[in-house]
Amino acid sequence: MKFISWNVNGLRAVVGKGFAGVFSEFDADFFCLQETKMQEGQLDLEFRGYESYWNFAEKKGYSGTAVYTKHHPLSVRYGIGIDIHDHEGRAITLEMEDFYLVCAYVPNSQDELRRLGYRMQWEDDMRAYLMGLDRVKPVVFCGDLNVAHEEIDLKNPATNHFNAGFSDEEREKFTALLAAGFTDTWRYQHPDEVKYSWWSYRMNARARNAGWRIDYFIVSDRLRPRIARTEIHNEIFGSDHCPVELVL
């Protein structure tokens, strides 16, 4: 079973850069999107054999998530059931027969960490949400999690130590999530490999591969034996992020 996750940083823009071809080539069972930056009715993008589910932000042109699936879910939940978090279209949960799939776009702590306080609340609430799901059945949690966990996960750790996405506080919350019974699938399969999933548009960062690994597939620990393949598709352009893959 193949899962793809991609922060497209504006789905309408990526559609003009060959998105349909990428989508078809992956032929994934589940294709999760973040930062769609759309409102309902702005784009009619369906693919034969897939159902799609969308969570739009109330603010126009901002955030947003979507999931395309070949498999009809038992139920679908938009948001995580906490009002402060559920106005920006940041999460979709599909309940399948033997697992939950959660697609999320985690809030950025922003310049000078001015949204760090809110980010910390999100982290605690999302971890509790995932743990609650995990008590029922295993979880596949994916998306732009907006944190590089360890120094190996970004090109310039020393100069980014106190920046959004690599603050001690954000990294500690990621560690807490893993300690709660979850596995970073890419790092589990590639303990020493350096590969990135996001590059700033500034200073020719992608050409220099001055990137960050901030897009993940996290699974309940008991799914570890089912991890068949993980990949970061940095050969695919169209966004400042590239798609990441998990095969169970």
Task: Show the CA angle centred on residue 102, arms to residues 19 and 83, nearest 5°.
Answer: 110
DSSP 85-140: GTTS--EEEEE-SS-EEEEEEPPP--GGGTTHHHHHHHHHHHHHHHHHHHTTS-EE
CA distance 218 to 209: 24
138 near 223, Cβ under 8 Å?
Answer: yes
Candidates 27, 25, 104; CA nearest to 65 is: 104
The per-residue b/e assignment along 127-164, b for 16 or more CB within 10 angstroms, e otherwise, is bebbeebbeeebbbbbbbbbbbbeeebbbeeeebeebb
In the residue annotation, 29 being an active-site residue is answered as: no
In the residue annotation, 50 being an active-site residue is answered as: no
Q: Which two tokens stand for residue 211?
A: 């990137």
Catalytic residue among 29, 134, 144, 153: 144
Q: Which residues contact 128 (CB under 8 A, 6 or more apart)?
A: none
Pairing of strands 2-7, 30-34: parallel
CA distance 53 to 221: 27
Query: Do you know the residue count of the chain?
Result: 248
Catalytic residue among 53, 100, 105, 196: 105
Instruction: Provide the annotated active-site residues.
Output: 105, 144
